[in-house]
Amino acid sequence: DIQMTQSPSFLSASVGDRVTINCKASQNINRYLNWYQQKLGETPKLLIYNANSLQTGIPSRFSGSGSGTDFTLTISSLQPEDVATYFCLQHNSWFTFGSGTKLEIK
């Protein structure tokens, strides 16, 4: 089974900061990696699919990069509404999720 290691678990940053969240796969997953956002009390929302494709309607401050085993979600300029938990999903071989990153505003 493919394992996904997500870091950090918790992140505190200021409005306007550039924020990065990482996921590392235990084996090559090509670019089959998605990123999701889950705000408190809301359903998870797809942000990025296939490593770097922005889902329709998602602000352009969100971007994804990486391939193989190492992937990054970047928020270019953190906004107050970005407070949420972010998690990755590999879909190269069945499905495995990262453990999540809780993002808060300093």
Partner 1 sequence: EVQLVESGGGLVQPGRSMKLSCAVSGFTFSNYGMAWVRQAPTKGLEWVATISYDGSSTYYRDSVKGRFTISRDNAKSTLYLQMNSLRSEDTATYYCTRAYSSYINWFAYWGQGTLVTVSS
Pick one of 61, 74, 100, 105: the residue that binds partner 1 (CB under 8 A): 100
- Binding of residue 96 to partner 1 (CB under 8 A): yes
Sign of CA dihedral 104, 76, 48, 23: negative
Report in angstroms how near the CB of residue 95 gets to partner 1 at its nearest. Answer: 4
CB atoms near residue 7 (< 10 Å): 14
- Binding of residue 91 to partner 1 (CB under 8 A): yes
Mode of pairing for the β-strands spanning 84-90 and 96-97: antiparallel
Total interface residues for partner 1 by CB under 8 A: 16
Pick one of 58, 61, 65, 97: the residue that binds partner 1 (CB under 8 A): 97
> x/- binding map, residues 29-48, to partner 1, per CB under 8 A?
-----x--------xxxx--
* Residues contacting 50, CB < 8 A, separation 6+: 31, 32, 33, 34
- Binding of residue 69 to partner 1 (CB under 8 A): no
Is 90 exposed, middle or buried (CB count within 10 Å of its CB: 0-12, 13-18, 19+)? buried
Q: Using CB under 8 A, list all residues that contact partner 1.
A: 34, 43-46, 49, 87, 89, 91, 94-100
